[in-house]
Amino acid sequence: MTRFNSTRLLATTTLMLLHHGLAMAQMPAQQPDAKSFKLGTLDIVALHDAQFVKPNDGKTFGLDHSPAEVGELLKAAGAPTDTITLSVDALLVKSKTSVVLIDTGVGGALQDSLAKAGIKPADVSEILITHSHPDHIGGLVKDDKLAFPNATIRMSDVEWDFAKSNKDAADIIKVIADHVKPFKAGAEVAPGITSVALKGHTLGHVGYQIKSGKERLFDIGDTVHSSIISLAKPDWAVAFDGDKPEGEQNRAKTLATLAKDHEMIFAPHFPFPGIGQIEKDGDHFKWTPSDKPK
pLDDT in the model for residue 25:
57
Read off the amino acid at residue 282. Answer: G
SS3 49: strand
pLDDT in the model for residue 30:
79
pLDDT in the model for residue 73:
97
pLDDT tens digits along 141-166: 999 999 999 999 999 999 999 999 99
Domain parsing of the chain, residue ranges: 33-289
Which CATH superfamily does the domain covering 33-289 fall into?
Answer: Ribonuclease Z/Hydroxyacylglutathione hydrolase-like (3.60.15.10)
pLDDT tens digits along 59-95: 999 999 999 999 999 999 999 999 999 999 999 999 9
Burial of 189 (0-12, 13-18, 19+ CB in 10 A): buried
- Do 207 and 251 form a contact (C-beta atoms < 8 A)? no
* DSSP code string of 125-178: -EEE-S--SHHHHGGGEETTEESSTTPEEE-BHHHHHHHHT-GGGHHHHHHHGG
Kindly indicate the confidence band of residue 168, based on its pLDDT and cuts at 50, 70 and 90: confident
Neighbours of 165 (CB within 10 A): 12
Cα 164 to Cα 138, 177, 192, 284: the distances in Å are 14, 9, 28, 37
The region of weakest confidence among 4-8, 34-38, 82-86, 180-184 is 4-8
pLDDT tens digits along 225-276: 999 999 999 999 999 999 999 999 999 999 999 999 999 999 999 999 999 9
Whole-number Å distance between alpha carbons of 37 and 55: 34
* DSSP code string of 75-110: HHTT--SSEEEEEEEEEEEE-SS-EEEE--TTSSSH
